[in-house]
Structure 1
């Protein structure tokens, strides 16, 4: 997908760097101007050339100048101001300019939003001066510049906050503390995903939209070490997230995080059918996400004429998969049809069964493999002393292993064995998972 970027160069470069790192399949065409009044002409040239799939304005101001002259031939949106961007600017004001934030001046930000963010960091009595000009004001940039300059020089504010480079730079050159607000990375990615969805919706030749809903969860049967448990959860989530974004690139899909443990991929029906299903990407994702009995994952696929319709049906399919069992995916193409399970992953592979056994006995896989070599399946019985000799470890260590196996129900006493003086030793029959013996054959 090719997206045209309209706005000042400093912001456009930030967007370009982020997209190169996070969305390598998205191509950007930058057309920069420090004066937002030129946004309309730049947008008209973009639309006349028809060489891009969508337009992204770097902020509400340059979008506002262009919207009256935009035609509906291509999707477009802008980067809105948000609390995270303001928080970053306030942090810069305190660390670089040493402002106490008790009085600040702003031009394109609502005082209510600024006050809300300030209260969130514990500042409740700050005064926010907003420039009294709208976008129709003649010579707006010069008036914004004079507004900030006058308030600072009269001692009414300790720092100025703006979204425009050609206002921030002259103030800094004059020694006036000024911070420029940049859009947060999350907002940039969110709006690009939004453009991808709009583009897919408009591309009639690509067929209907499809949404893939992904849900995952963790199951831990004890809390012996909370730090290790939380670390495992974080590692699993990061690994699964990387796999989801890799699949999204192959599907040319937009990715949305729907809160803890949920993702949504928006693409076309053709991509779902020919890449996700026929290419067995869904089975690979289920297998990867369910590779341990401690982890669970479900998929729901919805198809519809609009994003809302496909997402609603994906949620229906996901609920059906969750009601079925972990490692399952369903497909919904209409309100009264449920296809599935499209693909399932039982989680009952030899690797899973062996891992469950290690958790049950609290014995490592290497110890269990040594046991399997020392106690072949045809062996009817063995004593603790004989087993310690076969394993080459002390009798005390052997008894500790046998105790764990006995707690797991893997040991049966079949008789007594007497050798000279002392208490008779128990003759034990040890039952180990077949997977351990199958490894020796393989």
Structure 2
């Protein structure tokens, strides 16, 4: 399956990517999201369809979307501007327009790029007029400040051209009939960043698939087995009894455990009348994950008799105690956007919420009706009705089929196509 990367940028940037990269991207699919001004980039986050990574065209749109990106469960990167982009752009201006660097006004991410370029190239006429936005993000950044910077220098006769790394500034300078050029993003840097996004998405999937175990201790309560079965379902796990001490372990994967620990179900554990202590462990084998879970549980038992949990990963890094008030929590999906989406998809808000949580709990985008049925705890027929409804209105698609048995019909493999973030 191809790695799907959401590419967020200006129209010019998207067009450049589509036309200037004659590169073999057989394993990568770029899905464009276009904004007019960088401040609008954050609006795309809640409209992202299922993807494996998010790549911004630069630091500006990324910083304006940083808060919204904190809710994403996939890697988020941006194309970093560096000295190569600056030098390539100045060389282009000198070669094609005959304008020396000291007659060019420049806006860029960091003024240190100019110092580095001057030091490396020993420029005779280094740039004199530059403005950066590194210290202005995100609250003190205004497009007009940069437009005025270039305009005043040009009308004052101090410069002959403007070099901007902000596409919205370029558009305004064109309207003002001021000679200008967009900063060139070298194709090599762009390709490298796309492949970095691809690599990070694969790493995130492998990390999410790491074996995980959960050991829970319920004090003075006889109803623990029923709750353990429910927790096992919420963690997409398997409940097994330990014959040595008659305790229970839930085996799952890291992605499912971490998703569960961000949910209201996890926080509800520590609001029960009877204290709950938990230990979560990750490891390359089930035995190591269980051992780490037992160690984490021992820490919980030492720290808080009123209920808490710790995590011990495969690198023996301990984190906790949880729940931490600073941790993210999933609230009820009764927002206007969620209700509107449920109406659009012709689903109940409850089923839509379960569908979204099902997607977020998995490390893969594709799934079968049986997997969704197990998660939602509804019949296979009800699940297939929901999926048919989604496929019919274009909110899901069949991307393949799998044959898990020698006989019988192959099972369809689905992928969601509506915004789930």
Same fold (TM over 0.5): no
Name the structure with the higher helix share: 1
Query: How does the TM-score come out when normalised to structure 1?
Result: 0.43
Query: How does the TM-score come out when normalised to structure 2?
Result: 0.45
Larger Rg: 1
- Greater length-normalized contact order (CA 8 Å, ≥ 6 residues apart): 2
